[in-house]
Amino acid sequence: MVFTAFFWSGAFIAGKLCVPYIPTYTLTFLRFLFAAAVMAVVLMIQNKKTEGKVQEKKEGISPAKPYRLQKKHVPIFLFTGIVGMVGYHVFFFASLKYTTAINSSIIAAMNPSLTMILAALFLSLKVPARQAAGVILSFVGVVLTITGGDVGVLMTLSFNKGDILMFVAIICFAFYSVFSRAKAKDIPSTGLTFYSFLVCTIFLIPFVIWEKPWTFFGDIPSSAWLGVLYMSVFASVLGYLIQQVSFKRIGASRTNIFINVVPVFSIILAVIILGEELEIIKIFTAAMIICGVIMCQLPQKRKEIKKSHEGEDR
């Protein structure tokens, strides 16, 4: 999971290197075109390994089953592909045109807290006091990141456009996470990921044509192409596959803790590779958000778990 956090942090750097040369829709399309191709091979291999085998339950957990596209799942993939993949990445790449990779990664760190808020609103999940405090702490950290610690920004509402776009991006991904949790429980994670990638790729075709890629493809430097491939293979595919193994080996709670390392790696890489300036306020706000998220992810007490499950059942 340390490698996964590193892969995901690298996406902020790779994206920053790509946005000057590749328009937003085309960049998102290319990332998921390559990622969908790799995931198609992964899904095919997984289905072949499990096809024809008798599925036996071990310790209450069923092994992965072969997945075939079902008509009833198409609306789910449309939502996850358009809102989760297109929505998040279009706003993410757009944000990198106006703000730093450091700011984007710090704001993105609030995603687990925002997901918890949406889960409480739409899935009727109860949020214990400690987790609510973590959400508030994370939100304050994001506000301080966007304002740079300047209260005058709040008074004049003169926010950095890129920071606001990144915040919209994580709202899209939080909706994707909550929707997947509620509606995609019976879909294997590999199948959900592949078809979400595929919908994203197909949906973007008319937008890519509108951007006229034939007018700028010849001017894209090799560094930008390497950035696209990095995001496709390492951030999208390898990062995801390692995360799935981690879920099985150490559990979801411990796995998600490692996600908090992403902004730390991103800050280090942004300073070394992009030469971005590291301000004390950014270190402080990153620490606030990470602490808030950790508070949200710490194991709950038995009474809190019981109440949370009661809310989920309703």
Tell me the backbone φ, ψ of residue 155, rounded to 5 degrees.
Answer: -70, -40
**Proportion of the chain above pLDDT 90, given as a percent:** 38
Q: Which residue reads 């992403």 in tokens? A: 262
The predicted structure's pLDDT at residue 310: 43
Among candidate residues 140, 106, 85, the one with its CA nearest the CA of residue 261: 106
pLDDT of residue 243 exceeding 90 = no
pLDDT in tens, 33-65: 999 999 999 888 888 777 655 444 444 444 556
With 0-12 / 13-18 / 19 or more C-beta atoms within 10 angstroms meaning exposed / middle / buried, residue 198 is buried
User: What's the average model confidence in pLDDT over 265-292?
Assistant: 83
pLDDT tens by residue, 143-197: 777 666 666 655 555 577 898 999 999 999 989 988 988 888 888 888 889 999 9
pLDDT classification of 303: cutoffs 50, 70, 90:
very low
Confidence of residue 306 (pLDDT cuts 50, 70, 90): very low
Residue 314 pLDDT exceeds 60: no
- Look at residue 56 in the predicted model and tell me its pLDDT: 47
Q: Tokens at residue 178, please?
A: 């909550």
Domain ranges in the chain are 2-50+70-313
Question: CB under 8 Å to 2, separation ≥6 — which residues?
Answer: 258, 261
Per DSSP, 58 falls in state B
DSSP alpha helices (H): ranges in the chain? 2-18, 24-50, 74-79, 88-95, 101-108, 111-122, 129-147, 151-156, 161-183, 189-210, 222-230, 239-250, 252-257, 262-269, 280-297, 302-313
> In terms of pLDDT, which residue wins out, 301 or 309?
301
Residue 99 phi/psi, 5° resolution?
Answer: -135, 175
Report helix angle 2-18 to 239-250, nearest 10: 160
In the predicted model, what is the mean pLDDT of residues 59-72?
67
Q: Could you tell me the maximum CA-CA distance found in the chain, to the nearest angstrom? A: 65
Token pair in block for residue 212: 């006229």
184-188, 257-261, 305-309, range with the lowest pLDDT = 305-309
Contact 210, 25 (CB under 8 A): yes
Q: Which amino acid is at 112?
A: P
